[in-house]
Copies of this chain bind each other. A is one copy, B any other.
Amino acid sequence: MTRFFVPPEELNISFMVLTGENAAHAKVLRLKNGEQVMVCDGQGAECICTVSDVSSGQISLVVNSVQKSSSEPSVKVSIYMAFPKSDKLEHVIQKATELGAYEIVAFPSARCISRPDEKSLQKKKERWQKIAASASEQSGRGHIPEIIILGSYSEAISRAIQADKAILFYENEHATTLRMALETGTYHSVSLLTGPEGGLEDGEVEKARRAGMEICTLGSRILRCETAPLCALSAVMYHTGEF
């Protein structure tokens, strides 16, 4: 079933009108009266609707039923990624959205090669948010991960440790596995932090440890910066019973 996302305030329990990009998309799909579509608010609520009228620039829908999205994971996983080169971040946003990430947080760290300036960031953020929206739609999610940009590594740590469990992956950690971290305690939210192309510095890892993050290995193979968060996210989803 085709999925449309609307802002939460536009979700109505009886009747809705799709306009703008949604209407353009519906036109491309040649939606007809009587067809069923799904309308989501991007925050976990979904309406199954029937198309009641198709006219230029707008699609009218009658709402059949409202439900809580069944495709959202039980644990909210936040991906914290030090800025990689731009195409890699886009890759991670798309894939992490498919895999069920709750939000994706990008931040600078000491060895980041890519350091987008304030001005270009605003434009890029819009683009990244669109990538997340499109991946949510295609993968059938009920929630669009928010793309959050932080100004410093310290901010990233302070925010990451707000989760019930906060894990940093470091290639020089060999003793503590992700499994050890995930088998301890109960949690409804998890932060997963990974470094940029050149890795995190020892001092940065220490800072995270002192702030309360758990430092884990992702195994004895060295993963690229864009592979590590997706590998970790897949493992957390598996561990928490998603598949």
Contact = CB atoms under 8 A, between A and B. Distances in A.
**Copies of the chain in the assembly:** 2
B237 A219 contact: yes
Q: How large is the interface on A (under 10, 10 to 19, 20 to 34, 35 or more residues)?
A: 35 or more
Contacts of A224: 98, 138-139
B217 A178 contact: no
A116 to B, nearest CB: 24
B222 A140 contact: yes
A108 interface: no
Given A99-B227, A99-B231, A178 B243 contact: yes
A70 interface: yes
Contact of A234 (B139, B216, B230): B230
Nearest to A96: B227
Contacts of A140: 220-222
A221 B98 contact: yes
A199 B100 CA distance: 20
A139 B238 contact: no
Interface in A201-243: 216-224, 227, 230-232, 234-235, 237-239, 241-243
A100 B221 contact: yes
A4 to B, nearest CB: 16
A178 B219 CA distance: 20
Interface of A: 70-71, 73, 95, 98-100, 138-141, 177-179, 216-224, 227, 230-232, 234-235, 237-239, 241-243
